[in-house]
Structure 1
Amino acid sequence: MLLIVVIRACLLFPWKQRLMVASVAYGSFLARLMMGPQRFRPPRLGPPPPWRGRGLSQELVASLQLRSALLFGLVLIFVLLMVGALLTEHLSRTELASANQRLRKYALMIENQATLQERNRIAREMHDSVGHSLTAQSIQLENVEVWMATDRAKASDHLTKARSLGKDALQNVRHTVATLRNNPLKGQSLSQALTKMTQEFERTTSIQVQFSTHLETPVPREMAAALYRLVQEALTNVSKHSEATQVTINLTEQEMELSLKISDNGKGFLPGKNTTGFGLQGMQERTVALGGLFELHSQPQTGCHIQIQIPRLGEE
């Protein structure tokens, strides 16, 4: 019964109260043990055997009492430790399950937010590029209708411009669709994909790109895709807003992390007053989702400097 009381106390109380209950239980056991020989001593039916003296009987009883006290004390300690260990393990499992549940909710929230940000970015890019091209094309086609009857040369010139604007809109649509592909690397290594992208960017924008990379080991697939998107977004911002003539991109491996540095010599801006920083916000959120650090430094007429550090976990 005393052991049941101690086990019950372990389930209900913290360690301090558990020890108090165990101490009371042990004291009760000792009291009952000391009172036992006087209360329940069997009646003597005859003279004691000649080989059993009174002193020997008392020593035997005392020895049994001492051993019982020690045994019960050890059992109490064992019960306290065992039940405490089981409760601690149960609590740890419960906390771990709760932490995993919160982590799953957080990951889902980040994923949904990243998806929403990506959709908003694409919608804004479609509006700024494709929408502008189609609006301008519509104006050129209206001019064709105006000059078709009176001046066919001007009508032909406006028609040529409308065709050019249509090609630009189609190219922008293809570029936007390409950003939605699940695997932007297309089986290439990260260095190869970035080299190809920077060369294409330099050819279409006439902005010089100095790209250097130093990676001793392959980059995990998901991290490589994220880094590719980060560089892609940075170059898109440079071509749209910076008025830069040169961009420097440096990707290096430093112990257990990857470092990406992107700098341009454009007009710069005040980060606190930036109103066109949607792409920068997306870059920061993508970096944070990978557990990395995003730093942005810019001032008017000093260009823009971005440094990203992402911890490297796992292999490709």
Structure 2
Amino acid sequence: ENINPIQCMIGLGPGNGNRMPDDLVLRSKNGKELPIGESSLSPLLDASGQSLGLILVFKDLTEKKEHEKLLHEMDLQRKRALIEGQEKERERIAKDIHDGLGQMLNAIKMNVSLVIPNPSDAANLSRLLNEAIQESIRISENLLPAKLRDFDLATCLKSLCAQVSHSTHSNISFHTHGFQSPLCQSKKVNLYRIAQESVNNAIKHSKASSITVQLSENSQALRLSIEDDGTGLADKKIMRQSGIVNMRDRAEIMGGKFTIESDPHRGTLVIVEVPPDKMSINV
């Protein structure tokens, strides 16, 4: 069967009709690219029906593509501003808890013996106050981990896994492979938040008993994965409540890719792949 070579180049052939594929690009001799679409290819015939050539009709999509790019950039800016606002609010609440509630609880603890003469009652109240102080510290640390300012991402994730494992009695392990890159603060915070949210989802929604967090890197991407053995997040209501949209947005503003696979029999796997920072050092 005869197939025109031009048809082969642009993806036309038997069964495809004269409709050309979308998102084609014409390239001029000087290298300038012109996006085209809504294109069609038709034969040019003479009066006797002999083929004289082909007629290519297409629409210049340059303006449309530029508009789509602008809308995408505006959407990224909106998401970035929203996430930055969330982090600032977390910081404010964490400081209020530490400087306000925490200090008040410590002051009460110091004066327990002055207002409660019974040593046994005073000891019981002091114990409860100690628990409240520790809980306020835990909440403050969860909202604004101090280690994110001082340590690399691998150290922060290892600490996160150890803390959650201790407080929930879950089996949470952390592994890193080939990760040596220094990261900008925003990327470090976003990856940490994705891991934090995924681990919380695995415990709260999936009822997982075993969770594995892995951080790896090659020359093309930095990869973070969180896998659990729970019951999955298949329920649509749970999917809406589990912060998945926020995690996806965080990956997108980093120029990365977010995927999630969830099955009631195999658990949940969250994968985030982002380009390494320009200052990354890969070996």
TM-score normalised to structure 2 length: 0.54
- Counterpart of 1:299 (choices 252, 263, 272) is 263
- Counterpart of 2:223 (choices 249, 259, 271) is 259
Contact 2:203 2:209 in 1 (8 A): no
The structure with more strand, counted as a fraction of residues: 2
Structure 1 runs not aligned, ≥5 long: 1-94, 126-151
Paired residues, number: 207
Contact 1:248 1:264 in 2 (8 A): yes
Closer/same/farther in 2, CA of residues 287 and 271 from structure 1, 3 Å limit: farther
Closer/same/farther in 2, CA of residues 215 and 190 from structure 1, 3 Å limit: farther
* Counterpart residue identity of residue 208, structure 1: N
Alpha-carbon shift at residue 264 of structure 1 (Å): 1.0
Larger Rg: 1
Q: Does 1:174 align with 2:137?
A: no
Closer/same/farther in 2, CA of residues 296 and 100 from structure 1, 3 Å limit: closer
Closer/same/farther in 2, CA of residues 302 and 216 from structure 1, 3 Å limit: closer
The residue number in structure 1 matching 2:81 is 112
Equivalent residues in 2 for 1:162-311, closer than 5 Å: 163=129, 166-167=132-133, 169-179=135-145, 184-186=148-150, 188-215=151-178, 217-221=180-184, 222-274=186-238, 277-311=241-275
TM-score normalised to structure 1 length: 0.49
Structure 2 runs not aligned, ≥5 long: 1-63, 95-117
Closer/same/farther in 2, CA of residues 269 and 226 from structure 1, 3 Å limit: closer
The structure with more helix, counted as a fraction of residues: 1
Alpha-carbon shift at residue 270 of structure 1 (Å): 0.9
Equivalent residues in 2 for 1:132-143, closer than 5 Å: none
The residue number in structure 1 matching 2:114 is none
Deviations 1:134-163 (A, max 9, x none): xxxxxxxxxxxxxxxxxx9xx999968854
- CA–CA distance in structure 1, aligned partners of residues 68 and 268 of structure 2: 39
C-alpha RMSD of matched pairs (Å): 4.6
The residue number in structure 2 matching 1:54 is none
- CA–CA distance in structure 2, aligned partners of residues 192 and 176 of structure 1: 15
* Counterpart residue identity of residue 110, structure 1: K
SS at match of 1:184: helix
